[in-house]
Structure 1
Amino acid sequence: MVLKLFRMLMPRDDTFVAAFAKQAARTVDAAHVFRAMLEDPANGAHYTELRRIEREADEINRATIRSIHRSFITPFDRADILTLTDALDDVIDRMKDAGRRLTLYKVAVTPQMLTMADCIIRACERLRDGMPLLGDISGNARALGAMCEAVDAIESEADRALQSGMDALFDGGDTNSPGHKLMVQMVYDGIEAVADRCEDVTDLIQAVMVEQV
């Protein structure tokens, strides 16, 4: 309670909020490249670009961690800042992993995979637009809550697309070998992990809101 009051009295440090916004913007860039990769998986330039964006995001993450150790007063708990920056970084890491699976297994991209990728773009855009609101959590509580609900709803859309893809894969009409089906499932799992990580970010934000509001 005393630390919370102290933070309120100190001049606001926007360094971390700006870093979160920058990280979230990179997730949007990565999501568009990831969608393009699914649309044209034979084009290796997409995966190269995805890896470049991931390296940029890693550097933002490292800079944020360095700032945590240098800052005397942070806008909210240091552990929450660390967890949030890592979660944003993981969104792109999961995209890179899913892209690697697609490149490795060379399975056909399904309409459901494209739908999930579209969901990821929308979720990342919501996160990008919501990050600046962390500069005033109490004042922006309603907008932050709406953002979290929107991302959760989008993740549910991705889950429905995943279920549709799984139904089509294992409904008996697909004559591919069990090994091939396993590779397709692993690509689906990789894409699902990206959407799940977007939802994880909103869960972290909601936890911070509980402490701050």
Structure 2
Amino acid sequence: MVLKLFRILMPRDDTFVAAFSAQAARTVDAAQAFRALLAEPASLQAHYARLSQIEREADEINRATIRSIHRTFITPFDRADILNLTDALDDVIDRMKDAGRRLTLYKVPVTPEMLTMADCIICACERLRDGMPLLGDISGNARALGAMCEAVDAIESEADRALQAGMDALFDGGDTRSPGYKLMVQMVYDGIEAVADRCEDVTDLIQAVMVEQV
């Protein structure tokens, strides 16, 4: 309670909010590159290279944020929460790169359901990008932050529905392709699903911070 009051009375430090905002902006760039990777197989390697570059940029923001945690006397909210949030945002892009790597490795055809999931990921990342600056005043922006979290959850559910539709089509009794092929397609689906899930994880962390702050 004393530390919480101290944080309220101290001049606001926007360093971490700016870092979260920069990370979230990179997730949108990465999501667009990832979607292009799926939609344009002929340029897959170029889009994967772009995704890898964005990942490196996001990693540097993550490392800088961690350094700042150790150098800052009073943080806007709990240090563990800051660390978890910056790592979760970083993981969103890491999961995109992993899904892209699976596609480059297995070279399976991209399905309409995969593209729908990628579109959902872009929407979720845009919501996160727009919501991060609100962390500068959690109490004052509680309603808007809550709406952002609900929107990302709804988008993740939409991605789940696309995943289920894709899996239903993949394992339809009339599909005679080999079990090995189907397993590779499923692993690509799983990789894309992990991205959407990690976006939802970010909102779970934000909601936990809100419970402590509001």
Superposition TM-score tier, normalisation by shorter sequence = over 0.9
- Cα distance in 2 for residues equivalent to 1:134 and 1:152: 18
Q: Quote the offset at 1:194 in angstroms.
A: 0.1
SS at match of 1:42: helix
Q: Quote the offset at 1:165 in angstroms.
A: 0.2
- Cα distance in 1 for residues equivalent to 2:173 and 2:125: 35
2:187 is matched with 186
Aligned 8 A contact 1:54 1:92 in 2: yes
- Cα distance in 1 for residues equivalent to 2:174 and 2:136: 52
Q: Deviations over 1:80-100 (max 9, x none)?
A: 000000000000000000000
- Cα distance in 1 for residues equivalent to 2:204 and 2:13: 23
Q: Deviations over 1:107-164 (max 9, x none)?
A: 0000000000000000000000000000000000000000000000000000000000
Q: Deviations over 1:8-39 (max 9, x none)?
A: 00000000000000000000000000000000
- Cα distance in 2 for residues equivalent to 1:173 and 1:72: 63
Q: Quote the offset at 1:171 in angstroms.
A: 1.0
- Cα distance in 1 for residues equivalent to 2:65 and 2:182: 41
1:66 is matched with 67
SS at match of 2:41: coil
- Cα distance in 1 for residues equivalent to 2:129 and 2:155: 15
TM-score calculated relative to the size of structure 1: 0.99
SS at match of 2:52: helix
RMSD: 0.4
Q: Quote the offset at 1:41 in angstroms.
A: 2.4
Aligned 8 A contact 1:41 1:102 in 2: no
- Cα distance in 1 for residues equivalent to 2:141 and 2:70: 27
- Cα distance in 1 for residues equivalent to 2:118 and 2:174: 25
- Cα distance in 2 for residues equivalent to 1:175 and 1:22: 46
Q: Quote the offset at 1:175 in angstroms.
A: 1.3
- Cα distance in 2 for residues equivalent to 1:121 and 1:160: 16
Aligned 8 A contact 1:95 1:191 in 2: yes
- Cα distance in 2 for residues equivalent to 1:175 and 1:147: 43
- Cα distance in 1 for residues equivalent to 2:111 and 2:50: 22
TM-score calculated relative to the size of structure 2: 0.99
The count of residues paired between Structure 1 and Structure 2 equals: 212
Q: Quote the offset at 1:67 in angstroms.
A: 0.2
Runs of 4+ in 1 over 6 A off after TM superposition: none
Q: Quote the offset at 1:40 in angstroms.
A: 1.1
Q: Quote the offset at 1:42 in angstroms.
A: 3.1
Q: Deviations over 1:149-190 (max 9, x none)?
A: 000000000000000000000011211100000000000000
